[in-house]
């Protein structure tokens, strides 16, 4: 254990040394100050495996990485809906980092899947911020339980690879808060990550690395982040602005150029020494934390970690379709078809690429079963190879069933570029169609990092989505196909019928300067549900080899002065909590796990809100016939939207529906709650304020109607009929204050209107 006295160091460091500590020594290390006994720390890519580079002095960070274990990627992990699994993965990687003297693993990446075309979607969890936040927080807690830090990335709004280093994401604040920042907020508050990594892009015209609103106001001021912020590699723009905005560490080394700019800024008074000292102190705090908690002599068992990767892959896989063909019997004569059966695509390309110490394939894992193999296609060639297809067709014809291993090759999705379409390679689609002509009992296993189009979906008997399932995906796939494991994953993203259905389609990837997030909060299932649009497979969907029944939904208000009823519903305040309980029973004949999903719908929203939003999930394991009670706890945030007028989260008074689903499209239980808000939106009166806005702030808006009706009726000299009164009231709602004086001559009672406005302001 190395003791580091931060205050003493700050007093002894020269200005040049302080500036130098704010950039890397090389591609993977912070700077050491040998004369003061300050060591460096190493950071390393992740997040689904350890990508520690064996860097030689003459290399620029691109040397070969050590042999390591590749676990399932985030796209797969999210389908587990299992916070305990993510914690286990984090702890496992933390152990490997301790053994390899890595202080910070760069991840997880928690961007929202705005478009299925994003080339790096395989590294991201979900289209849903609640799911991504809960899983990400559990992962971070797992890693940091081993006294190894994480760097949650890429903060923020980096939802595409096209021009990711220069594009400006144009996003309104409500959308940022509810969709693109929410997962980070959850992780910061629930897991206290050691570091955060800025994205390359601009947000509303300001680079993330020098965005004072993002880093100082929101991240630190509102959320309480107490670690340090680093750039993505090469993402620095203006070094002095960045330090002022709350960006401490520039990675990698800048060759001293930006260090000199910091020194110059302090000397000429454009940067205070106090701001620089604060940046250095934040970096030193993490260095101190790592070394004072470092455990020497850790040796981990790669084979044991490989076994864990196999179990995780099975937990993540999603059974998309099954017409009774799965699980296969060991004696069934099966034709395995496709190059991915022998060389599975199990991870994506780019900075997260792991040098796996071994990879298991399905063909080897199925030895001992009644199975034969045909290659069917070349992964590196999109065009159909007729000889390979014919060989596969002949094999399938003579079998009792065919399992085709399909998916996206490496060159289809990677860091650095986005996909052009949703299609599988033509060679695979042609292969599947030709096999189906001779073998109706066909199963497709998918290896991909993001949704794909499936033109043959209605013809095949079963589809097993294994995503990019890590180095043990071959063994896990066989476990699932033959019933040694029961599929229990559910989709963490929607599979659209076609690319044009995606809400970002007309605004992705934008121009050469900007990309506009015009769909606002309506991404993923929020949009598809709002449009009542058919999808290929909905968010939260997944089948099992058993069946589950839900019952006995109950609501209970916690921390209340006493439950009451409002409009015939159970009522709660926005400072209360709501306990939601239900029973889940395994009604099938085999052991299985079910993911129970809780959605909330604002039934009386005064602003545009999605039809439902995920606010709870739980994976429950059940033996045949077993029943368990599942409980969720909701608070104000579960019902709230972000009000830019209020500058805070706001749960408005009214009715909310509690929806329990097997997916976002299969709601099986439903109940309602009446929420009474203790907040009121601020009164903003200007020339565009309508009378409807005014009435929304009145305890009894009928008094306003009466006042207006009396004034106009008096001016008209006659009473109104009931139908005229109804029409009049609708017109009144839309009338603005700037129109009031124009209407004074025909009965608008301005003195009484002014009195109402003054009373509301008080």
From 571, 538, 540, select the one nearest 557 (Cα to Cα). 571
- Compute the distance between CA of residue 436 and CA of residue 432 in angstroms, rounded to an integer: 6
Which helix (H) or strand (E) segment is 672 a member of? strand 666-676
Kindly give the interhelix angle for 302-316 and 83-99, rounded to the nearest 10 degrees. 160
- Compute the distance between CA of residue 69 and CA of residue 387 in angstroms, rounded to an integer: 36
- Compute the distance between CA of residue 549 and CA of residue 662 in angstroms, rounded to an integer: 10
Which helix (H) or strand (E) segment is 277 a member of? helix 273-292
Q: Which long-range contacts (CB under 8 A, 24 or more apart) does 385-389 make?
A: 385/427, 388/431, 389/427, 389/430, 389/431, 389/434
Structure tokens at 70: 């590749």
Which helix (H) or strand (E) segment is 465 a member of? strand 462-465
**Phi, psi for 31 (deg, rounded to 5):** -85, 145
Question: For the chain, how big is the Rg over CA atoms in Å?
Answer: 29
Alpha helices in 337-492 (DSSP H): 362-365, 386-397, 426-438, 473-481
Degrees, nearest 5: CA angle 62-68-71:
110
From 199, 171, 175, 28, select the one nearest 110 (Cα to Cα). 199
Q: How far apart are the first and last CA of the chain?
A: 61
Q: What are the DSSP calls for 307-375, one per residue?
A: HHHHHHHHHH-EEEEESS-PSPPTTS-EEEESGGGTS---S-BSTT---BS----HHHHTBTBSEEEE-
If you search the block for the tokens 């509301």, which residue do you land on?
760
Degrees, nearest 5: CA angle 351-517-115:
50
Examine the residue annotation and report whether 232 is marked as an active-site residue of this protein: yes
- Compute the distance between CA of residue 726 and CA of residue 721 in angstroms, rounded to an integer: 9
CB 350 within 8 Å of CB 489: no
- Compute the distance between CA of residue 526 and CA of residue 298 in angstroms, rounded to an integer: 46
CB 423 within 8 Å of CB 382: no
- Compute the distance between CA of residue 260 and CA of residue 251 in angstroms, rounded to an integer: 15
Per-residue burial over 473-510, b = 16 or more CB atoms within 10 Å of its CB, e = otherwise:
bbbbbbbbbbeebbbbbbbbbbbbbebebbbbeebbbb
What is the sign of the dihedral through the CA atoms of 732, 738, 741 and 743? negative
**Phi, psi for 425 (deg, rounded to 5):** -55, 145
If you search the block for the tokens 């016939």, which residue do you land on?
625
Q: What are the DSSP calls for 549-611, one per residue?
A: EEEEEEEEEES-S--EEETTEEEEETTSEEEEEEEEEE-SSS-EEEEEEEEEEETT-SS---S
CB 326 within 8 Å of CB 319: yes
Q: What is the DSSP letter of 417?
A: B
- Compute the distance between CA of residue 408 and CA of residue 451 in angstroms, rounded to an integer: 10
CB atoms within 10 A of CB 298: 15
Structure tokens at 136: 């990400």
Catalytic residue among 232, 418, 576, 602: 232
- Compute the distance between CA of residue 464 and CA of residue 28 in angstroms, rounded to an integer: 39
Active-site residues, by number, are 232
């Amino acid at each position: 254990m190395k003791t580091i006295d931060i205050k003493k160091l700050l007093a002894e460091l020269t200005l040049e040394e302080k500036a130098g500590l704010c950039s890397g020594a090389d591609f993977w290390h912070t700077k050491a100050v040998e004369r003061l006994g300050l060591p460096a720390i190493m950071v390393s890519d992740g997040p689904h495996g350890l990508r520690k580079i064996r860097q030689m002095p003459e290399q620029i960070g691109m040397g070969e990485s050590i042999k390591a274990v590749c676990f399932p990627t985030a796209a797969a992990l999210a389908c587990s809906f299992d916070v305990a699994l993510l914690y286990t993965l984090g702890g496992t990687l933390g152990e490997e980092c301790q053994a390899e003297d890595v202080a910070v693993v760069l991840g997880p990446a928690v961007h929202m899947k705005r478009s299925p075309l994003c080339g790096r979607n395989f590294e991201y969890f979900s289209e849903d911020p609640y799911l991504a936040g809960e899983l990400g927080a559990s992962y971070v807690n797992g890693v940091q339980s081993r006294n190894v830090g994480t760097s949650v990335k890429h903060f923020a709004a980096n939802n595409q690879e096209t021009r990711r280093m220069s594009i400006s994401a144009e996003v309104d604040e409500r959308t940022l808060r509810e969709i693109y920042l929410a997962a980070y907020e959850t992780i910061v508050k629930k897991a206290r990550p050691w570091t955060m990594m800025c994205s390359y892009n601009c947000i509303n015209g300001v680079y993330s690395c020098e965005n004072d609103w993002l880093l100082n106001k929101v991240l630190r001021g509102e959320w309480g982040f107490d670690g340090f912020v680093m750039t993505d590699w090469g993402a620095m723009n203006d070094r002095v602005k960045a330090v002022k905005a709350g960006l401490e560490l520039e990675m990698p080394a800048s060759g001293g150029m930006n260090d000199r700019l910091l020194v110059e800024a302090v000397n000429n008074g454009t940067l205070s020494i106090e701001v620089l000292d604060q940046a250095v102190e934040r970096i030193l705090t993490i260095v101190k934390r790592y070394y004072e908690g470092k455990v020497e002599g850790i040796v981990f068992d790669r084979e044991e970690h490989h076994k864990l990767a196999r179990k995780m892959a099975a937990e993540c896989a999603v059974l998309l379709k099954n017409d009774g063909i799965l699980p296969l019997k060991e004696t069934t004569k099966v034709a395995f078809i496709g190059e991915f059966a022998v060389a599975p695509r199990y991870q994506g390309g780019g900075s997260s690429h792991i040098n796996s110490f071994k990879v298991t394939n399905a063909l080897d894992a199925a030895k001992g079963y009644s199975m034969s193999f045909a290659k069917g296609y070349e992964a590196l060639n999109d065009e159909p190879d007729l000889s390979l297809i014919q060989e596969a067709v002949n094999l399938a014809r003579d079998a009792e069933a065919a399992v085709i291993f399909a998916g996206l090759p490496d060159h289809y999705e990677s860091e650095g570029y986005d996909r052009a379409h949703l299609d599988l390679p033509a060679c695979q689609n042609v292969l599947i169609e030709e096999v189906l002509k001779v073998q109706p009992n066909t199963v497709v296993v998918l290896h991909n990092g993001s949704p794909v189009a499936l033109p043959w979906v209605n013809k095949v008997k079963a589809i097993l989505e294994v995503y990019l399932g890590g180095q043990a995906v071959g063994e896990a796939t066989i476990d699932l196909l033959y019933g040694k494991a029961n599929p229990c994953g559910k989709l963490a993203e929607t599979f659209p019928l076609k690319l044009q259905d995606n809400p970002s389609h007309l605004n992705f990837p934008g121009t050469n300067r900007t990309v506009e997030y015009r769909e606002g909060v309506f991404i993923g299932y929020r949009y598809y549900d709002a449009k009542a649009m058919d999808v290929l497979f909905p968010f939260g969907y997944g089948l099992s080899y058993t069946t589950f029944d839900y019952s006995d939904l109950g609501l209970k208000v916690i921390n209340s002065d006493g439950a009451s009823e409002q409009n015939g519903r159970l009522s709660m305040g926005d400072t209360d909590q709501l306990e939601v309980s239900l029973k889940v029973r395994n009604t099938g004949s085999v052991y299985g796990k079910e993911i129970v999903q809780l959605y909330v719908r604002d039934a009386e929203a005064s602003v545009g809100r999605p039809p439902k939003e995920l606010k709870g999930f739980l994976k429950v394991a059940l033996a045949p016939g077993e029943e368990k009670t599942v409980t969720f706890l909701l608070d104000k945030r579960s019902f709230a939207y972000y009000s830019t007028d209020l500058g805070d989260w706001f749960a408005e008074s009214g009715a909310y529906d509690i929806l329990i689903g097997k997916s976002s499209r299969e709601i099986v239980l439903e109940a309602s709650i009446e929420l009474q808000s203790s907040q009121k939106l601020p009164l903003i009166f200007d020339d565009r304020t309508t009378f409807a806005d005014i009435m929304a702030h009145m305890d009894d808006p009928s008094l306003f109607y009466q006042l207006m009706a009396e004034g106009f009726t008096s001016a008209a000299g006659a009473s109104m009929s009931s139908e005229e009164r109804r029409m009049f009231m609708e017109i009144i709602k839309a009338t603005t204050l700037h129109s009031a004086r124009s209407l004074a001559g025909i009965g608008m009672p301005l003195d009484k209107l002014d009195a109402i406005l003054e009373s509301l302001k008080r």
